[in-house]
């Protein structure tokens, strides 16, 4: 008689990679206009708490061995803390942001000045786009969001500029207005031959986009509404360590099961502006 054994699945070994990111201290953070459903200008914000919480994220990155560059915050630009929207940087080229709303317009040139001074080749944008908020590098392809902020024309601009395949995804839920609120990139630098994986919220996308995601990422982590609603997907991974919203407990468990090391950070104050971990993080790729 043969005995059939069912080996318990073993989570793959994940390898962290060193990252370089750009952040902006929220010295002038507040909510005094409303450009997404999270923002309620009538409710008070606590700027010093925002700074304290942001510093924990900053220190977490330093402890992980990341290089963290800083851009000076500008008085009157309360959303500048969300550096992910400042551009999209790949192959030493910084594609500048062109913001949807007037309230953030001045951030575009401010970030481009920083990129120039840091030695990046700046590509001035022709079309509305909010940087890495809507443009995510996943392995060799770029996932690009549209529906609320970035124009679809910017996706073509990105494809031409970087010579990579760009996949347009349509966002349909105003609470998940940027792609980085609905998709998490789990493997920023996959080893040659290895596929980069993602996590996402299914209900954030229209049917054609969902079809693409299901076909391309059959092993993706599907995150619950509950975790997405604390901006759990708005996370930043080095391939092993995944910095996430500390309140995203389900996502934390899912990550652990897949062999990642989730690290929870509380950015409750910055959530009042509609942003989380990833929003405060812009990846710099030389």
Among residues 90, 75, 92, the alpha carbon closest in space to that of 29 is found at: 75
- Give the ranges where the chain is alpha helix by DSSP (H): 47-63, 107-117, 152-162, 207-216, 225-228, 249-257, 268-271
DSSP bridge partners of 4:
none
Which of 87, 133, 145, 232 contacts ligand ARG by CB under 6 A?
Answer: 133
**Please, are residues 89 and 285 in contact by the beta-carbon 8 Å criterion?**
yes
Binding mask 224-253 for ligand ARG (x = CB under 6 A): ------------------------------
Which of 79, 227, 252, 283 contacts ligand ARG by CB under 6 A?
Answer: 79
Between CA 263 and CA 265 the distance in angstroms is 7
CA atoms lying within 13 Å on the CB side of residue 208: 5
Least CB distance to ligand ARG at residue 11 (A): 29
Residue 73 contacts ligand ARG per CB under 6 A: no
Which of 22, 24, 35, 89 contacts ligand ARG by CB under 6 A?
Answer: 35
Segment contacting ligand ARG by CB under 6 A, of 79-87, 90-98, 164-172, 239-247 = 79-87
CB nearer ligand ARG, residue 14 or residue 73: 73
Least CB distance to ligand ARG at residue 172 (A): 16
Q: What is the DSSP letter of 15?
A: -
Residue 80 contacts ligand ARG per CB under 6 A: no
- The angle subtended at Cα 71 by Cα 29 and Cα 177, nearest 5°, is 55
Residue 84 contacts ligand ARG per CB under 6 A: yes
Residue 181 contacts ligand ARG per CB under 6 A: yes
Between CA 278 and CA 137 the distance in angstroms is 13
Which of 228, 279, 283, 284 contacts ligand ARG by CB under 6 A?
Answer: 279
Between CA 23 and CA 268 the distance in angstroms is 17
Q: How many residues bind ligand ARG (CB under 6 A)?
A: 16
CB nearer ligand ARG, residue 12 or residue 41: 41
279 is catalytic: yes
The values of phi and psi at residue 80, to 5°, are -65, -20
Residue 180 contacts ligand ARG per CB under 6 A: yes
Between CA 280 and CA 276 the distance in angstroms is 7
- Give rounded-to-5 percent helix, strand, coil for the chain: 30, 20, 45
Residue 45 contacts ligand ARG per CB under 6 A: no
Which residues are part of the catalytic machinery? 178, 279
Contact positions vs ligand ARG (CB under 6 A): 35-36, 39, 79, 82, 84-85, 104, 133, 178, 180-181, 273-275, 279
């Amino acid at each position: 008689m043969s005995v059939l054994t069912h080996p318990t699945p073993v989570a793959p070994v994940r390898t962290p990679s060193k990252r370089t990111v750009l952040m902006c201290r929220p010295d002038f953070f507040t909510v005094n206009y409303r450009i997404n459903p999270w923002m309620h200008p009538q409710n008070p914000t606590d700027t010093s708490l925002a700074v304290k919480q942001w510093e924990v994220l900053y220190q977490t990155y330093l402890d992980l061995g990341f290089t963290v560059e800083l851009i000076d915050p500008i008085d009157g630009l309360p959303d500048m803390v969300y550096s992910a929207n400042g551009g999209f940087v790949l192959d030493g080229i910084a594609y500048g942001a062109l913001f949807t709303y007037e309230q953030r317009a001045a951030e575009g040139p401010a970030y481009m000045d920083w990129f120039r001074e840091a030695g990046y080749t700046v590509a001035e944008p022709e079309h509305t786009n909010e940087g890495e908020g809507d443009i995510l590098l996943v392995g060799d392809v770029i996932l690009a969001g549209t529906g609320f902020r970035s124009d679809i024309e910017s996706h073509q601009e990105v494809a031409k500029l970087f010579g990579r395949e760009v996949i347009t995804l349509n966002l349909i839920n105003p609470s998940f207005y940027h792609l980085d609120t609905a998709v998490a990139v789990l493997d920023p630098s996959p080893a040659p031959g290895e596929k980069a994986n993602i996590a996402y919220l299914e209900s954030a996308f229209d049917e054609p986009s969902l079809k693409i995601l299901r076909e391309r990422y059959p092993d993706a982590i599907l995150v619950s509404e509950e975790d997405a609603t604390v901006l759990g997907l708005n996370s930043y991974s080095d391939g092993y360590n995944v910095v996430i919203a500390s309140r995203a407990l389900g996502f934390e468990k899912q990550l652990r099961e897949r062999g990642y090391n989730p690290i929870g950070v509380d950015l409750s104050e910055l959530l009042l502006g509609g942003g989380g971990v990833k929003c405060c993080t812009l990846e710099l790729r030389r």
